[in-house]
Structure 1
Amino acid sequence: MDSSHHKLVKTPCSIRQLGDAEYNHFFGYYNKSPWSQDGRYILADRVPMMDADLTPELSAEVGYFDTENNDTFHKIGDTTTWNWQMGCQLQWLAGRSGRQVIYNVRLDQPQGRYPSFGAVIHDLESGDKRLLADPIYSVAPNSDYAITVDFSRLYITHETIGYSEADDKKTDLPLCPADDGLCRLDLDSGETTLLVSYDELSKFHHRDSMDDAVHWISHIEINPASSRILFLHRWTRRVEDETCFIHRLMTINPDGSDLRLLECSDHPLPQLEDNFDPNAVGTYDYEKSEYQISHPMWKDDSHIIVWGPHNDAIHYHLYHDAPNGEVKVISGDLLTENGHMSYSPVDTRWLLTDTYPDAETNIRKLLIYDNDQDVAHEIGEFYTSDLKKVSRCDLHPRWNHDGTQVCIDSVHENTRQMYILDVKPVVGS
């Protein structure tokens, strides 16, 4: 391995496609591993089309690939509760015995806080399924609880990660309700508890820009010990233009105590002038905004990596989740673009990330950054076709559990597929 410091090197890694091109396959987000704990099975969503507008009737198959049986796809269910960015939040319940998965579904009979949506816990060995009255956004590593939010609210404020409903986009959305916000869902009892409301968030280190704005929560992640939750609190007066979004990085305990504000990107918004044309905003302008706080992930139980501004400069920043915690820049010279990042599950020397498409070539890069040597390994370049913002296909790279393989979603071969890269040439065996 090239040991020279502070440089970008190309380190080719072998790659293979999962499944065939008869169907389109995707997993969704970068924040969880699709691999089973033993590394044999890889979760996936399967659809006949590469692109489509989301409707409440549009169905996706839920299943997994068996890597010890020619990557055969096994269907376990269907769902109409999904989007192109995050799928149906399909994931393993790694803290539970056997092979159990959880994913979101649409409910025939409303039961919970969010009437249209729920979740299913599916035991793949027994075939048993248990319905939960509310959907899940992220699941604690110990599999005791999940965090839920209103996905129909997200469909209005941040459509790429919301779920469509029959009445399309509600026009009577409360801006900052006191009875909704970040909620905890107990996976045993199925009971949901409000941890912090939008009204409480708006009063916590209040900013004038919050007045008359619609508020929401996204990018919720739970630390490895399941003892701390991070999330982005966002608000805007113009939902149709993402460059008008304002962001805060926050953390909270699973019982709703010890709310902390780590970063706020409040800034002037000339876009709110009457003569501004939201159609002039490009597909990726939001992701490349100098005020964007995005894609936070836990490095360990008390440190968070995020792309965002701090001290008037936007970088990959590492935050210590503590009162007056330290903030460090991670490779300000090599990692210069927003991406979907995560540390290797076995060695935080290695930081996996990607880039958004180059404006001229439509090429996105897949990178592993060596924190010890200050070297960025480019392990692949992938062309992206001209999909709409809601249906675009980000690489969303994900590690396997021993840190030797990476899974991505990509459309570089003109279908939406999942690919596995062997990254041992970078990280060693």
Structure 2
Amino acid sequence: MTSRSNFPIRSMGQDGNHYFFGYYNKSNWNSAGNRLLANQVPWRDAYLTPDLVANVGYFDLENDGQFKVIGQTSTWNWQMGCQLQWLGNQGQTKAIYNIRTNDVDSRYPYFGSEIVDVQSGERRTLPLPVYVVASNGQWALSVDYRRLYITHETIGYPCDRFKPDLENCPSDDGIMHMDLATGGFRLAVSYADLARFHPRESMRKAIHWVSHIEINPSDTRVLFLHRWTERVKDETCFLHRLITMNPDGSDLRLLECSDHPLPQLADDFDPAQVGTFDYEKSEWQISHPLWRDDKQIIVWGPHNGEIHYHLYDDREYGPVSVVGRDILIENGHMTFSPVNPRWLLSDTYPDSTTHERVLFLFDMETGKRHDLSSFYADPSLSKENRCDLHPRWRADGLAVCIDSVHEHDRDMYVIDVSDLVSR
């Protein structure tokens, strides 16, 4: 159950199904605030296999919150869903999401994406799955989710029909750039390119991948995490770098690197002894980066021997600012209000004793943290099937949406924060 709820909260799913959206990095509201994207499944939790189908759709907030299905997909995970997102920043009648195809000859066999006009029902298939779409709705960036399933199962897609024999650091794969009008695509930056960029000895025998790819508001720069490891089954062995580039892969910039010794690589180390959230609370973790504006990036990670919420400037290598020192002391999923960057929205991972997660707003002007509510997280859920809050803003900055299982069902909740942010 919810404890110390201080703001009006509304549960979206009331029909016996389970609902979730996924990651924190994109809003599931359209710009008008009257449609709320979601994935609908019949299970609270399930081990993912290629035959599990989710309905894709939206809550019609002008029609008693009725859920309207716009498609189906078997290409999803509990953390990121199917990368469902609105297209463009005007009107937003079209949504895009990842699908499973029968195309064995595609660049990433059996995976693609689909654009659906939610008003006309018109749909179109694209040859690559998407990771993130530019705000203008014209292009997207893509990765091989089969690689992610091997390196970081939580955010990958299983594919029993095609078992890839992945190179550790290929020159023909990495981040792909796809034109959404034509479906044409090209390689923006390869894993071999990344390994040659400020190389580290620890990269030499490791498998490489990228995650947390984000495009700045004006669609001119891209950030991502470059990760590598020799032990994919143990996340505490992941090594991290925060990098930015132009959309075509040029002008790479290294903002942070957390390469460090790994005693876990010893033959007698037991990964089973690592707790579900130990990785998220590691002092070496670089995670959840997001653009504050066209230049600034907020991220949880280490810098100069201390781990904090840090604010980086993509255009300069000089000073990195700590956000909320002694107040924001643990990893979370953070985003700034789309209308007032004074307000930072974030959450915590479950407390190891109470299993409660706290949703909060941090005031960048006063340095004060305002706890919105606390939500119970069922400790029986696994790393892959867990339900993080992943808070997301409405376009007007007056409400937020979360995923949660605190009332047993996996559901989405809308929380009104207008009283606080309008003061």
Does structure 2 retain, via aligned residues, the 8 Å contact 1:343–1:350?
A: yes
Q: Which moved more, 1:81-90 or 1:317-326?
A: 317-326
Q: Does the CA-based 8 Å contact 1:399-1:405 persist in structure 2?
A: yes
Q: Residue 40 of structure 1 corresponds to which residue in structure 2? A: 34
Q: Does 1:321 align with 2:314?
A: yes
The one-letter code sitting in structure 2 at the alignment partner of 1:179 is D
1:164 pairs with one of 158, 169, 181: 158
Per the alignment, do residues 96 and 193 of structure 1 end up closer, same or farther by CA in structure 2, a change over 3 Å counting? farther
SS of structure 1 residue aligned to 2:340:
coil
**SS of the counterpart of 2:294?**
coil
The reply on whether 1:26 has 2:20 as its aligned counterpart is yes
TM-score norm. by structure 1 comes to 0.96
Separation in 2 of the partners of 1:107 and 1:344?
A: 37
- Counterpart-to-counterpart distance in 2, 1:69 and 1:77: 19
Q: Which deviations, in whole Å up to 9, do the C-alpha atoms of 1:233-261 show, x marking residues without a partner? A: 00000000000000000001012110110
* Offset at residue 426 of structure 1 (A): 1.5
TM-fit CA distance, 1:94: 2.5
Partner of residue 6, structure 1: none
How far apart, in 2, do the equivalents of 1:154 and 1:168 lie? 14
Q: Is contact 1:33–1:399 with CA below 8 Å preserved after alignment? A: yes
1:305 aligns with 2:307: no
Partner of 1:78: 72
Distance in 2 (CA, whole Å) between partners of 1:108 and 1:260 is 38
Alignment of 1:140-179 (within 5 A): 140-167=134-161, 170=164, 172-179=165-172
Partner of 1:5: none
Matched, 1:191 2:159: no
CA distance in 1, matches of 2:418, 2:330: 25
Measured against aligned partners, the alpha-carbon deviations of 1:314-366 in whole angstroms (never above 9, x if no partner) come to 00000000242431000111100100000000000000000000000000000
TM-score of the aligned structures, taking structure 2 as reference length: 0.97
The amino acid across from 1:371 in the alignment is M
Q: Write the letter of the residue equivalent to 2:420.
A: V
Quote the residue 2:351 is aligned against. Answer: 358
Question: Which region of structure 1 is more displaced relative to structure 2, 95-104 or 337-346?
Answer: 95-104
In the alignment, the residues of structure 1 paired with residue 245 and residue 257 of structure 2 have an alpha-carbon distance, to the nearest angstrom, of 16
| Residue aligning to 1:392 | 386
Q: Which moved more, 1:20-29 or 1:109-118?
A: 109-118
Q: Give SS of 1:202's match.
A: helix
Preserved contact between residue 37 and residue 94 of structure 1 (Cα < 8 Å): no
Question: One-letter code of the match for 2:251?
Answer: D
1:265 to 250, 258, 266: 258
- Structure-2 residue corresponding to 1:253: 246
User: What SS class does the counterpart of residue 209 from structure 1 fall into?
Assistant: helix
What is the 5 A alignment of 1:335-350? Answer: 335-350=328-343
1:131 aligns with 125
- Residue by residue over 1:74-131, the C-alpha shift from the partner in whole angstroms, topping out at 9 and shown as x without a partner, is 0111000000000000010033655000000001123531112100011112211010
Structure-2 separation of matches of 1:414 and 1:122: 32
- In the other structure, the counterpart of 2:367 is 374
CA distance in 1, matches of 2:221, 2:231: 31
What is the match of residue 111 of structure 2?
117
Counterpart amino acid of 2:185?
A: T
Instruction: Tell me: CA distance 1:164–1:13, structure 2 relative to 1, closer, same or farther (3 Å).
Output: same
Aligned: 1:401 with 2:395: yes
Alignment-mate amino acid for residue 291 of structure 2: W
Query: Contact 1:308/1:314 (CA < 8 Å) preserved in 2?
Result: yes
Aligned length: 419
Give per-residue Cα distances to partners, 1:248-305, cap 9 Å, x unaligned: 0000101211011000000000000111001001100000000000000000000000
Return the alpha-carbon distance in structure 2 between the equivalents of residues 122 and 207 of structure 1.
43
Per-residue CA distance 1:386-424 (angstroms, 9 max, x = gap): 200000000000000000000000000001000000001
For 1:208 and 1:235, the matched residues in 2 are separated by: 11
Matched residue, 2:205? 212
Per-residue deviation, 1:51: 0.6
8 Å contact kept, 1:96–1:143: no
Residue 193 of structure 1, CA deviation: 1.0
* In structure 1, C-alpha distance between the alignment counterparts of 2:266 and 2:213, rounded to whole Å: 32
CA RMSD of aligned residues (A): 1.3
Q: Which residue, out of 278, 287, 292, partners 2:280?
A: 287
Q: Which range is displaced more, 391-400 or 12-21?
A: 12-21
Contact 1:11 1:379 in 2 (8 A): yes
Are the equivalent residues in 2 in contact too, given 1:316–1:329 (CA < 8 A)?
yes
Tell me the residue number matched to 1:4: none
Kept in 1, the 8 Å contact 2:31–2:91? The answer is: no
CA distance in 2, matches of 1:144, 1:38: 20
- Aligned-pair distance for 1:138? 0.4
Residues 29-55 of structure 1: CA deviation (Å, up to 9, x unaligned): 000110011110000000000010101
Report if aligned partners of 2:290, 2:299 keep a CA contact under 8 Å in 1: yes
Change in CA separation of 1:17 and 1:301 when aligned onto 2, cut-off 3 Å: same
1:53 aligned residue:
47
CA distance in 2, matches of 1:27, 1:325: 36
- Once the two structures are superposed, residues 167-218 of structure 1 have per-residue CA deviations (whole angstroms, 9 ceiling, x without a partner) of 5865x32100000001111111111111111011001000000011000000
Q: Is the 8 A contact 1:111 1:133 kept in 2?
A: no
Percent sequence identity over aligned pairs: 58
* Distance in 1 (alpha carbons) for counterparts of 2:24 and 2:139: 20
